[in-house]
Structure 1
Amino acid sequence: MPGPFARVPGAVTDESGLRHLGNPLGEQRALASGAAVTPLGDRAVLAVPGEDRLSWLDSLTSQALTRLPAGESTELLVLGPKGHIEHAASVLDDGETTWLIVDAADAEGLLSWLRKMRFRLRVDPRDASEEFAVIGGTRAGLAVVAAAAPTGIPLIWSDPWPNVSPGGHAYATVEPHAAVEWDWSEAIVPRAEEERIAVAAASGELTLAGLAAADALRIAAWRPRWANEVDDRALPHELDWLRTAVHLEKGCYRGQETVAKVHNLGHPPRRIVALQLDGSDSLLPARGDELFVDDVAVGVITSAALHFEDGPIALAVVRRNTAVDAEFIVRTADGVIAAAQEVIVPPEAGATAKVPRLPRLGRRTR
Structure 2
Amino acid sequence: MLPVDLPGAVLGDGIDSPVPAHYGSPAREQRALMAGQALVDLSHLSLVTVTGPDRLSWVHNMTTQHILNLQPGVSTELILLTPEGRIQVPAAVIDDGETLYLITDVGMGEELYAFLQSMRFMLRVEVTLRDDVAFLGGIGTFDVPRAFITWRDPWPNVSPESVAYGEAPESHPAYGRERFIALLSKDELSDAVEEWEGSMAGMLAWEAQRIVDLRPRPALDPDEKALPHEWDWLRSAVHLNKGCYRGQEAIARTVNLGRPPRRAVLLQLDGSEERLPAMGSDILMGEKVVGKVTSRGRDMDEGPVALGVLKRNTPIDAQLTVDGIPALAEVIVNPDGRTDLSYERPKVRRV
Q: TM-score, normalised by structure 1?
A: 0.89
- Are 1:347 and 2:349 counterparts? no
Q: In structure 2, what residue type is equivalent to 1:345?
A: V
Q: Deviations over 1:5-60 (max 9, x none)?
A: 22200001243312110111100000111011111023122111110011101110
Task: Report if the CA contact (8 A) 1:44-1:133 is conserved.
Answer: no
CA distance in 1, matches of 2:265, 2:223: 16
Pairing 1:147-296 to 2, within 5 Å after superposition = 147-148=147-148, 155-173=149-167, 176-199=171-194, 206-296=198-288
- Are 1:71 and 2:73 counterparts? yes
Q: Deviations over 1:216-256 (max 9, x none)?
A: 11001000111111110000000000000000111100100
- Number of the residue aligned with 1:10: 8
Residues 229 and 117 of structure 1: is their aligned pair in 2 closer, same or farther, counting only changes over 3 Å? same
Task: Report if the CA contact (8 A) 1:44-1:134 is conserved.
Answer: no
- Number of the residue aligned with 2:134: 133
- Number of the residue aligned with 1:29: 31
- Are 1:317 and 2:317 counterparts? no
- Number of the residue aligned with 2:143: 143
Q: In structure 2, what residue type is equivalent to 1:157?
A: W
For residue 143 of structure 1, give the secondary structure of its aligned residue in structure 2: coil
How large is the RMSD of aligned CA atoms in angstroms?
2.0
Structure 1, unaligned stretches of length 5 or more?
149-154
For residue 294 of structure 2, give the secondary structure of its aligned residue in structure 1: strand
Residues 263 and 26 of structure 1: is their aligned pair in 2 closer, same or farther, counting only changes over 3 Å? same
Aligned residue pairs: how many? 344
**Bigger mean CA offset, 39-48 vs 314-323:** 39-48
* Post-superposition offset of 1:144: 4.0
For residue 262 of structure 1, give the secondary structure of its aligned residue in structure 2: helix
CA distance in 2, matches of 1:77, 1:63: 7
Task: Report if the CA contact (8 A) 2:9-2:22 is conserved.
Answer: yes
Task: Report if the CA contact (8 A) 1:200-1:206 is conserved.
Answer: no
Task: Report if the CA contact (8 A) 1:45-1:133 is conserved.
Answer: no
Q: Deviations over 1:183-207 (max 9, x none)?
A: 2011111113212134457xxx541
Residues 144 and 258 of structure 1: is their aligned pair in 2 closer, same or farther, counting only changes over 3 Å? closer
CA distance in 1, matches of 2:190, 2:345: 62
Q: Deviations over 1:330-358 (max 9, x none)?
A: 02xxxx10111111102212373435749
* Post-superposition offset of 1:176: 1.9
Task: Report if the CA contact (8 A) 1:139-1:158 is conserved.
Answer: no
Pairing 1:326-345 to 2, within 5 Å after superposition = 326-331=318-323, 336-345=324-333
Asked which structure has the greater CA Rg, the reply is: 1
